[in-house]
Amino acid sequence: AQTVTQSQPEMSVQEAETVTLSCTYDTSESDYYLFWYKQPPSRQMILVIRQEAYKQQNATENRFSVNFQKAAKSFSLKISDSQLGDAAMYFCAYGEGNTPLVFGKGTRLSVIA
Amino acid sequence: GAGVSQSPSNKVTEKGKDVELRCDPISGHTALYWYRQSLGQGLEFLIYFQGNSAPDKSGLPSDRFSAERTGGSVSTLTIQRTQQEDSAVYLCASSPREGVQETQYFGPGTRLLVL
């Protein structure tokens, strides 16, 4: 079964600085999707960014970008110019075909003013 | 437009009682998912509905858990004879169509506490 590992339970970053959250996954498939979701205290999960495995170019959404290393099965999230509103739990997730997403255990990000 | 809504927002119940959790997906979305988020854990898949197909129940942890989706819209997750280990946040998500390429839109969840 596919697994997703987030090795950093907690991270902190100074406002305006850059932080990278790590994610590794295990799969034997070649065609799949990877996601980063943000969960603020309101509990509502929000999609931050997604990456299609067949695309070599790393996905970017404004201040959020990923470093996708397919051979290493690594999918890290970089947040640039961190803002107080970025403080949340961040979950990495893996998906393929029509199967449900597999989530990591999350990284709690604190942003220090 | 309206997003995914869930009710109740919080539920406290006594061990052994039955509970029903409701999910209203985004109108027109054909796929609906239930997940459970226990303290300090990621999201655990429970059940998945897609259109008129038989639901994927492979994630349900025991036969005390069941879910239905009426008219391809509203879904109810029922937990019978609740146990303390059922305490968690139950999240519902919907997507326009089936398939991992479709973005899942999540509701705010129901926090269940079993005393």
Residue range(s) defining the domain that contains residue A54:
3-112
Confidence of residue B85 (pLDDT cuts 50, 70, 90): very high
pLDDT recorded at residue B80? 97
Between B100 and A79, name the one with better pLDDT: A79
Whether the CB of B98 is below 8 Å from some CB of chain A: the reply is yes
Which of B43, B93, B98 faces A98 most closely, judged by CB atoms? B98
pLDDT recorded at residue B86? 96
> Among A80-84, B28-32, B38-42, B109-113, whose mean pLDDT is lowest?
B38-42
CATH value at residue A67: 2.60.40.10
Using the beta-carbon criterion (under 8 Å), do A91 and B43 form an inter-chain contact?
yes
Residue B78 DSSP SS3:
strand
Residue A106 DSSP SS3:
coil
pLDDT recorded at residue B101? 79
> How many domains is chain A partitioned into structurally?
1
Which of A37, A42, A101 faces B100 most closely, judged by CB atoms? A101
pLDDT recorded at residue B12? 97
Condensed to tens digits (0 to 9), the pLDDT of residues A20-38 reads 999 999 999 888 999 999 9
Using the beta-carbon criterion (under 8 Å), do B108 and A43 form an inter-chain contact?
yes
Q: State the DSSP code for B101.
A: T
| Residue A4, C-beta contacts closer than 8 angstroms, at least 6 positions apart | A23, A24, A25, A26, A92, A93, A94, A102, A103, A104, B42
Domains of chain B in sequence order = 5-114 (2.60.40.10)
Confidence of residue A46 (pLDDT cuts 50, 70, 90): very high
Average pLDDT of B103-114?
94
Q: How far is CA B79 from CA A20, B50, B64, B76, B87, in A?
A: 39, 21, 6, 10, 11
pLDDT recorded at residue B1? 56
Q: What percent of chain A has pLDDT over 70?
A: 99
